Amino acid sequence: MTTAPAPTNWTELRTWLTRSTDDRVLTGVAGGLGARLGVGSGYVRAAFFGLALTWFGLILYPVLFFVSGGTAPSADLRRDELDQRQRLGLALMFAGAMVAFGSTNRWLGGLTIGAVTLIAFGIAAVWDRSLAGVAAGDQNQSRLRIIMGAVVIIAGMAVLLGSSDNLTGLGPVVLAVGITMAGLILVFGPWALRLAADLGEERRDRIRSEERAEMAAHLHDSVLQTFAMIQRTDDPKKMTTLARSQERELRSWLYGARGGEHGRMLSDALEDMADRVEQATDVPVEVVVVNDLPMGPRLDAVVAATGEATINAARHSGSMKVSVYAEVDAGVLEVFVTDQGVGFDPDEVPPDRHGLRQSVVDRMTRHAGTAEIISEPGEGTEIHLTMPLEAS
Partner 1 sequence: MTPVRVFLVDDHALFLRGVRSELSDREAFDIVGSATDVDDAIASIRRLVPDIVLIDVHMPGGGGLSVIRNVVETHPDVRFLALSVSDAPDDVIAMIRAGARGYVTKTIGGDELAEALERTADGDAVFSPRLAGFVLDAFAGALPKPDDPELDQLTPREREVLRQIARGHTYKQVARRLSISVKTVETHVSAVLRKLQLSSRHELARWATDRRIV
Query: Least distance (Å) from partner 1 to the CB of residue 246?
Result: 12
Query: Least distance (Å) from partner 1 to the CB of residue 320?
Result: 8
Residues 241-260 binding partner 1 (CB under 8 A) are 244, 247, 251, 254-255
Is the CB of residue 293 less than 8 Å from the CB of residue 265? yes
Of 383, 289, 372, 293, the C-alpha closest to 331 is 293
Q: Applying CB under 8 A, which of residues 73, 276, 327, 355 lies at the interface with partner 1?
A: 327
Stretch near partner 1 under the rule CB under 8 A, chosen from 7-15, 145-153, 194-202, 317-325: 317-325
Q: Applying CB under 8 A, which of residues 290, 357, 358, 362 lies at the interface with partner 1?
A: 290
Stretch near partner 1 under the rule CB under 8 A, chosen from 10-18, 222-230, 332-340, 352-360: 332-340
Is the CB of residue 71 less than 8 Å from the CB of residue 19? yes
Q: Which amino acid is at 215?
A: M
Stretch near partner 1 under the rule CB under 8 A, chosen from 1-9, 117-125, 283-291, 295-303: 283-291
Q: Please, what is the Cα angle at 312 between 322 and 354, to 5 degrees?
A: 150
The residue among 4 and 250 lying less far from partner 1, judged by its C-beta, is 250
320 binds partner 1 (CB under 8 A): yes
Beta bridge partners of 338: 323, 382
DSSP-assigned states of every residue in 224-256 = IHHHHHHHT---HHHHHHHHHHHHHHHHHHHH-
CB neighbours of residue 376 within 10 Å: 11
195: CB partners within 8 A, 6+ apart: none
Stretch near partner 1 under the rule CB under 8 A, chosen from 64-72, 210-218, 222-230, 289-297: 289-297
Of 303, 373, 375, 362, the C-alpha closest to 333 is 303
| Binding residues for partner 1, total number by CB under 8 A | 24
317 binds partner 1 (CB under 8 A): no
Stretch near partner 1 under the rule CB under 8 A, chosen from 60-68, 146-154, 215-223, 336-344: 336-344
Q: Applying CB under 8 A, which of residues 265, 289, 364, 371 lies at the interface with partner 1?
A: 289
Q: Does residue 38 sit in helix, strand or coil?
A: coil
The residue among 6 and 254 lying less far from partner 1, judged by its C-beta, is 254
Is the CB of residue 2 less than 8 Å from the CB of residue 79? yes
Query: Least distance (Å) from partner 1 to the CB of residue 272?
Result: 17
Beta bridge partners of 289: 326
Give the binding site for partner 1 (CB under 8 A). Answer: 244, 247, 251, 254-255, 284, 286, 288-291, 320-323, 325, 327, 329, 336, 338-340, 380, 382
